[in-house]
Amino acid sequence: MILKDNTVGPLAVRAYTIGCPETGEAMIIDPAGSEDMLAEQIKKEGLTLKYIVNTHGHPDHTCGNSRMKELTGAPVLMHRDDDILHRQPEIAAMFRAWGFEPAPPADQYIDDGDTVEIGTLAFKVLHTPGHSPGSVCLYGHGHVVTGDTLFVGAVGRTDLPGGSMETLIKSLKEKIVPLPDETIVLPGHDYGATPTSTIGREKSTNPYIYEYCL
């Protein structure tokens, strides 16, 4: 598996490019700035972008969708709940006040249990609402991309529209904690002591996990 990690955009989002070395197909998760650089990096790796995937609909994670789609022609995949919520006029106005324009509608919806396939690689979609109603994580090949559902030592905020700490804890308990301890956690921001972690480490060091989920 080819894995590229870039920190991009005004809120330092981690954009992950995952590629299949056998077929050259790839997906990029949460392009949120420096889209020309990301597209060039994909090209240099000999990859062809099949999908643009959003872990959730907050604009710091989706602000690069339009440009990335323009550069590559790849469709945007997102959960229905966030695609609909974050295009509502009052929500869009709030994010405009932060300096973000609303992202265009998703091209395809993904939901819990779906599989995103790139070449010979397959990633299972885990619907993990809480940070936002349509938050998802992508699990496969010993890795889980968690967006803002789970950080190293922390979790995402729940005070934005559609957020709920009770729902987030339920998602962590039911969808994230059961993953194998050796699973590598790839979060949506580098807010912790290290850029990445493992499920086992988070069980022992993340208070939101060991206090509320175990």
Q: What is the pLDDT along the chain (214 residues), one digit of tens a residue?
A: 999 999 999 899 999 999 999 999 999 999 998 999 999 999 999 999 999 999 999 999 999 999 999 999 999 999 999 999 888 888 888 888 888 877 889 999 999 999 999 999 999 999 999 999 999 999 999 999 999 999 999 999 999 999 999 999 999 999 999 999 999 999 999 999 999 999 999 999 999 999 999 9
Bridge partner residues of 186 (DSSP): 145
Structure tokens at 180: 């194998």
Number of domains in the chain: 1
Query: Long-range contacts: 164-168, Cβ < 8 Å, 24+?
Result: 164/129, 164/130, 165/130, 166/130, 167/129, 167/130, 168/128, 168/129, 168/130, 168/131
CATH number at residue 57: 3.60.15.10
Q: 65-72 vs 35-44: helix axis angle to the nearest 10?
A: 40
Residues 6+ apart with CB under 8 A from 130: 149, 155, 156, 158, 163, 164, 165, 166, 167, 168, 169, 170, 171, 172
The reported pTM is 0.96
Instruction: Look up the domain containing 54 and give its range.
Output: 2-210
How many CB atoms within 10 Å of residue 20? Answer: 20
